[in-house]
């Protein structure tokens, strides 16, 4: 019983064929391609509106140089949101629960921002290591602390996403099991548990969207510092 809770996080494979690629490609099939028609259907209109608004909001604090990252960040956001939301369906595998995937997103992008900062404006990039107005005796210690904080960022990004989603999924499984087991024994308690499950599902929906947004927002913040 304990093992089966973590089965959902195992990378799916069938007859030895890894299905991870299939799981990752699925979001792409769900979004219609923009047509050359002037007025499109509702889905396409909403999709276009959302992507426009999101990119506009994200690119607002970034200058012209940061606009090169618009495509990357917006597509990352849409991808993560879709993966997270699809994972809430029963019997589905959520790729973003895999630490390898999230680190694969976080480390290269974070490293890119750091390298851009070091290359284009090394003084300012290094200057971020010392917050303004620190008392002089604290400076060496603070530099060390800020460096550690800088290097923790990719780990934090990846682990944040993984941990949130894994925890959420596990909680759903646990509470659903509780409701399932209690249903023939104590129906009233099972009903309460089912209500809890409903609220948790709502929370998980919110968490799915928020975590994706936070991931992309933090990356844009790091970019803003360094671009």
Partner 1 sequence: MLSRLVFVSANALKGSGPLGAGLVQASRSLHTSSQNLAPVPPLPEKGGKVRHGIFPEELFQLLYPKTGVTGPYMLGTGLLIYMLSKEIYVINHETFAALSIGSVIVYGVKKFGPSVAAFADKLNEEKVAKAQEVKDAALASLTQAVEQEKKEQWRAEGRTLLFDAKKNNVAMLLETNYRERLHMVTNEVKRRLDYQIALQDLHRRMEQEHMINWVEKSVIGSITPQQEKESIAKCISDLKVLAKSTKATV
Binding site for partner 1 (CB under 8 A): 37-43, 45-46, 49, 88-91, 172-173, 176-177, 179-180, 194, 197-198, 200-202, 205
Alpha helices in 61-186 (DSSP H): 70-87, 99-120, 122-127, 139-185
Helix (H), strand (E) at residue 208: helix 187-226
Rg for the chain, CA atoms, rounded:
22
Adjacent-strand bridge partners of 14 = 17
In the complex with partner 1, the residue whose CB is nearer, 121 or 173, is 173
| Shortest Å, Cβ 43 to partner 1 | 8
> Least distance (Å) from partner 1 to the CB of residue 216?
23
Rounded Cα distance between 198 and 170, Å, is 15
Element (H, E) at 25: helix 20-30
Closer CB to partner 1, 20 or 190, in the complex? 190
Question: Taking the complex as a whole, how short is the minimal distance between the CB of residue 114 and partner 1, in angstroms?
Answer: 39
Nearest approach, Cβ of residue 177 and partner 1 (Å) = 4
Nearer Cβ to partner 1, position 40 or 121?
40
Q: 10 Å Cβ neighbour count for 38?
A: 5
**Cβ proximity to partner 1, 55 vs 121, nearer residue:** 55
């Amino acid at each position: 019983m304990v093992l089966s809770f973590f089965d959902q996080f195992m990378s799916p494979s069938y007859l030895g064929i890894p299905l991870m690629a299939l799981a990752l490609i699925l979001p792409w099939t769900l979004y219609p391609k923009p047509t050359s028609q002037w007025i499109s259907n509702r889905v396409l209109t909403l999709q276009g509106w959302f992507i426009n608004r999101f990119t506009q909001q994200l690119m607002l604090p970034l200058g012209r140089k940061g606009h090169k990252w618009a495509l990357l960040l917006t597509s990352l956001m849409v991808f993560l949101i879709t993966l997270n939301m699809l994972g809430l369906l029963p019997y589905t595998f959520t790729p973003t629960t895999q630490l390898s995937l999230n680190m694969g997103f976080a480390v290269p992008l974070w490293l890119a921002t750091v390298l851009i900062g070091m290359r284009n404006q090394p003084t300012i990039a290094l200057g971020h290591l010392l917050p303004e107005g620190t008392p002089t005796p604290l400076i060496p210690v603070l530099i060390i602390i800020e460096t550690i904080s800088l290097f923790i960022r990719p780990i934090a990004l990846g682990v944040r996403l993984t941990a949130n989603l894994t925890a959420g999924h596990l909680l759903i499984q646990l509470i659903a099991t509780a409701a399932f087991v209690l249903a023939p024994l104590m129906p009233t308690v099972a009903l309460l548990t089912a209500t809890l499950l409903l609220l948790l599902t709502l929370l998980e929906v919110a968490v799915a969207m928020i975590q994706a947004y936070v991931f992309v927002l933090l990356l844009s913040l790091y970019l803003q510092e360094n671009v």
